[in-house]
A and B are shown apart, each in its own frame.
Chain A
């Protein structure tokens, strides 16, 4: 099975940088996703890492270390609209890749 841990809550200031960590134990790994979810809405895709290293996409970057079972999501130049829950999810190695989600990190961005 899969076990995913991420902090429950984080607070940061507008314009700052925040790093959200995720650790996982898995029986079959085929990539790690980060999703953003605003209250009452569906998760939206942010990033996908399957190889070790850093993937950068605009203000958001995601890092993966498979040997350590560790990932982080880095958000730069924080904006108020970035206040949301950030979900880490591990994709398994079946054909269509079912995902196991962590409980999410609620990020609050303050002025």
Chain B
């Protein structure tokens, strides 16, 4: 069974730039959720993708967008980066409609915006 992987591990960007983060879901999982975790806080839900469609969104502006591909991997794109976007970005995969309730987190991408 392949676990959730994310790339890159760390990233430094300048304010105003754009960034793409990638996530490969666990084998057999069809749903990917993205979370932003600022230092000292819990993960905040950004959005979720199921069967290549956005399936729910948290309180994040439109400059946060995503994609899910036929193999269920996913991308998170952030445009016009702001200093407050500096955080750990986590993706989590799960199986919608399955009996398992768990979601498995990837190791995260640490984004620093300067």
**A45 contacts which of B43, B102, B107 (Cβ < 8 Å)?**
B102
- Chain B interface extent, by class: 20 to 34
Chain A residues within 8 Å of chain B by Cβ, number:
24
Q: Which of the listed residues A4, A96, A100 has the most CB atoms from chain B within 10 Å of its own CB? A: A96
User: Nearest chain B CB to A24's CB is how many angstroms away?
Assistant: 12
Tell whether A95 pairs with B45 under 8 Å between CB atoms, given A41-B107, A42-B90, A45-B102: no
User: Nearest chain B CB to A102's CB is how many angstroms away?
Assistant: 5
User: Nearest chain B CB to A76's CB is how many angstroms away?
Assistant: 23
Is B101 in contact with A95, judged by CB distance below 8 angstroms?
A: no
Q: Within 8 Å of chain B (Cβ to Cβ): is A99?
A: yes
Is A99 in contact with B50, judged by CB distance below 8 angstroms?
A: no
Taking Cβ atoms with an 8 Å cutoff, the residues of A that contact B are: 4, 31, 40-45, 48, 50, 87, 89, 91, 94-104
